[in-house]
Structure 1
């Protein structure tokens, strides 16, 4: 029986512990009292080393949080997910993105009967997709690949292709179009030629409004520019083969309803990644993620990195009341990493009701935000160090550079370590402007090098960490009804922009619609 965290007998114990100890823990004193603090609150997981020692918890805190996880049935819920049970209860679906990176023929205890057939289908699709990716990589006539998608069909592939730029196929440029704002597509189309471009249209249903608007505009441009052979220059990542064929697109790769959009870069949605880094690179990407899956599945809770990070997230959100987490990757290739995590966590856990549909008594997902490393230091780090709010920082650092320039990597890593140190130790000064209060928390995730395998492991770590906190909060982390209402209203307003009909609209929307239809515009 799975219990919601705030309904367990451990919850009031955590509340008492927070009042007595947790609310006034000083990190500087904690390190002085515990010579083994770093050793205890740091650990290795596949491809990732994590230092959690600069966070506002102690061994007593962690022991209570681990007890909470056990009482809530976290392990059973994890096993149900990986075994293929329909834990997405509002849509009656399994949640099996982990199956996408499971080796062929591998079974797990608790697998539902359909798992073997599903896994065989996964590898059949994977093999076909990778064969196609290699064909594109070997086709010197294709110089540009344009991915048209939005949400999970854009953020994951875009982030990964940028992150793994050192592994990209030579002679290929990659472009990502997601926004329905025509400026984005127009900018890309000005830079490519129809005879040397491959368009990938990524939409599970082939009905996503933004994606299909961009796809039809790309097809119209292709024809207007004298493009020939749509079948060669367009491919679709979709399950709606008929809709793709109606547009002349005959090369398609599908995926399944048990793959959520924000978890889909491991599927056919990852085709641009596979073209960029090759079949073996993509298999390494999957293998890194699978290694983290196995760590999450088999490691005891106390040595389970996704569990420890998810518990820390709950501790910060529900007891310290921290409303956001800053993400700062100290590697320029991870420029889209924070944007990817925004969807992963905020779309998954940005919920206000539990599995029973009733309002929760506790808060859920924090706001995720950030930018790459030293750029952020010259922008928002001022607020991290001296602002009124405590904003936990999560740093991602990479030990080995993938460039040959001397001196840069040492300076970059020095900055990463120094920021975490400065947040914790602070600096006392009688001049308030120069006083740093310190005792501000941070986590540091360290990769040895940024490779397909290590990136796969890092992403899987974040997926499982989100699962942990969502499971304890008793929410469904795998639906996203919150994005639907705006889509429905947009269709109505689009028609009204054409007709001018404002009947039944609120005063503000009616006024704005009239302003947008006024050919004379407005003046300041």
Structure 2
């Protein structure tokens, strides 16, 4: 039986606050640093590893974090989640995104069906549909193959699938798995849809409308934009569109779509990349086999997350170190820094995943908490970031923990040697140098050139970014965020904070405004 308690009521948290952090300028220098880098590493799925040598932890801190993991019952809470307990207390719902990629525990029944069977059935239906599109069984009205897929969605229906598509696009082209180009329309700003459509051959495009309720204002507005473009081209929209929605939405049985694939209320948008939301566009773009590899990587990482031993559980360890940095060391932000251009939109996805999940100031029972919760997440691929905001990271007044991601090899396996090293070697040299520079710093009498060091980081290292490693990487962060929510005793699976703006926007559009809202509406000529 698990119990849900605020972080500041746990005796292990009080012990943790009294433990002295590691001094990075000492432990990461010379032979000490070399040994530490070798020892402070945990294997992940798909050949990845999580290295935390450059975090401000030592054996005393790690022992205190283990006590916190046990007292907060992190392993038991994850088990309760994947066995189908109502962990989303705000909306009184199960949390089942893990089940889209495997069965970690007991069978879970909801809505009168076995949920693992439900998710597998949707994946199989999507695979069958995608194969028919690829082999020309499903075509446009002229009998010609579709060459482009365009996803219409917002938030989790866009950020995750878009980031995953970009991450695998070049890999797929190199490995003869590229079936169709994918594009995305998300912003209600008409310039977004107009720009995508202007560069798209709509006659050979299939559009994926993603809306769980079938009533999402921005998505339905963009659907109308797309339908207008199809009609102006003399095309029947119903022959070019599919829906990803719930079985009870108005889209589910509509003749306006070639087919409909289903999701449910037990998977939040930001956790939906491994559901039909990501499955439809990624299966069409790369083929169902590639999407299946992506799911396999996530499933393998989920199994590691179920390990009760913190030191063998990379997600739990990463989460607890993050709690230590946020609540004991007082760092308000975390930067995600992938040294891979393919992961250029991955930080944007993690912004939503983390900040929409753990940006809460009340606990699971609706009571205010008196300690910090989720950090601000931001990031950009290296080495571009080095020439942008790294100045603040190295010499600014705030310490920002860093999460690097790096791969030994590039996806396209093409490179050039200049000054006795390849581009990939230069990329990897930069990330290695940054880790040590942040940790150890450099003394200089000229304070403008002085680097204090002591700036913590971790790195996830892999051989190459593939569908399987991408799935493992995604599951790592999903589960890390979940564990942190458990520690903070908050509900990571609702997002009430996005609702108020939607309500007020509807009032503006109905011209039901007064006060400042009316003045702003007038200024914007609404």
Normalised to the residue count of structure 2, the TM-score between the two structures is 0.91
In structure 2, C-alpha distance between the alignment counterparts of 1:349 and 1:107, rounded to whole Å: 24
Residues 423-482 of structure 1: per-residue CA shift (max 9 Å, x gap): 111111111111111111111111111111000000000011001110010000000011
Preserved CA contact (<8 Å) 1:296 1:306: yes
Match of 2:242 in 1: 235
- Distance 1:89-1:66 versus aligned 2 partners, 3 A rule: same
Asked if the contact 1:317–1:364 (Cα under 8 Å) also holds between the matched residues in 2, the reply is: yes
CA contact (8 A) 2:180 2:284 kept: no
Q: Counterpart of 2:37?
A: 38
Tell me if 1:149 matches 2:163: no
Post-superposition offset of 1:7? 0.6
CA contact 1:394–1:443 (8 Å) conserved in 2: yes
- 1:12–1:274 Cα change, 3 Å: same
SS at match of 2:89: coil
Residue number among 376, 380, 384 corresponding to 1:367 in the alignment: 376
Counterpart of 1:217 (choices 212, 220, 225) is 225
Give the CA deviation at 1:265.
1.1
**C-alpha RMSD of the superposition:** 1.9
The residue that corresponds to 2:140 in the other structure is none
Of 3, 6, 13, the residue aligned with 1:4 is 6
Distance 1:250 1:173 in 2: 19
Note the alpha carbon deviations across 1:282-311, whole angstroms, 9 max, x for none. Answer: 111000000001111135222110010000
SS at match of 1:479: coil
Change (3 A) 1:302 1:483: same
Give CA deviations for 1:117-167 in whole Å, capped at 9, x if unaligned.
Answer: 211121111101111122223346212211100011001110000000121
2:406 is the counterpart of 1:429? no
- Partner Cα distance (1:282, 1:388) in 2: 44
Deviation string for 1:175-231 (max 9, x for gaps)?
Answer: 111000000100011112332111110111111111110001111111122113x33
Which residue of 118, 123, 132 corresponds with 1:121? 118
Q: Is the 8 A contact 1:107 1:116 kept in 2?
A: no
Q: Distance in 2 between matches of 1:150 and 1:453?
A: 25
Q: Structure 1, residues 27-74: CA drift from partner, whole Å, max 9, x if none? A: 132246687433332111112211101011111011101101101111
The secondary structure found in structure 1 opposite 2:114 is helix
Distance 1:5 1:361 in 2: 9
Deviation at 1:5, TM superposition (A): 2.1
Match of 2:423 among 404, 408, 433: 408
Contact 1:296/1:304 (CA < 8 Å) preserved in 2? yes
Could you tell me how far apart the structure 1 residues matched to 2:178 and 2:321 are? 42
Q: Is the 8 A contact 2:213 2:249 kept in 1?
A: no
What are the equivalent positions in structure 2 for 1:459-470 lying under 5 Å apart? 459-470=474-485
Aligned residues of 1:286 and 1:456 also touching (Cα < 8 A)? yes
3-state DSSP class of the match of 1:436?
Answer: coil
| Partner of residue 167, structure 1 | 172
* Alignment-derived partner of residue 266 in structure 1: 274
Correspondence for 2:141 = none
Q: Which residue of 2 aligns with 1:392?
A: 401
**Quick check: 1:130 aligned with 2:137?**
no
**8 A Cα contact 1:4 1:474, kept in partner:** yes
Number of aligned pairs? 501
Check if 1:295 corresponds to 2:304: yes
Asked if the contact 1:146–1:174 (Cα under 8 Å) also holds between the matched residues in 2, the reply is: yes
Helix, strand or coil at the partner of 2:125: helix
Distance in structure 1 (CA, Å) of the matches to 2:121 and 2:251: 22
| Alpha-carbon distance, 1:111 to partner | 4.4
Q: Name the residue aligned to 1:13.
A: 15
Structure with a larger share of its residues in helix: 1
Worse-matched range after superposition: 479-488 or 266-275: 266-275
Q: Aligned partners of 2:434 and 2:525: how far apart in 1? A: 50
Contact 2:355-2:377 at 8 Å conserved across structures: yes
Task: Report deviation, 1:107.
Answer: 6.5
SS of 1:91 mapped into structure 2: coil
Q: Which TM-score applies when normalising by structure 1?
A: 0.92
Q: Which moved more, 1:76-85 or 1:115-124?
A: 115-124
| Partner secondary structure for residue 435 of structure 2 | helix
Q: 8 Å contact 2:350–2:377 — kept in the other structure?
A: yes
- Cα distance, 1:401 vs. partner? 1.3
* 2:54–2:439 Cα contact (<8 Å) kept: yes
Q: Which of the numbers 459, 468, 493 marks the counterpart of 1:444? A: 459
Which residue of structure 2 lines up, in the alignment, with residue 472 of structure 1? 487
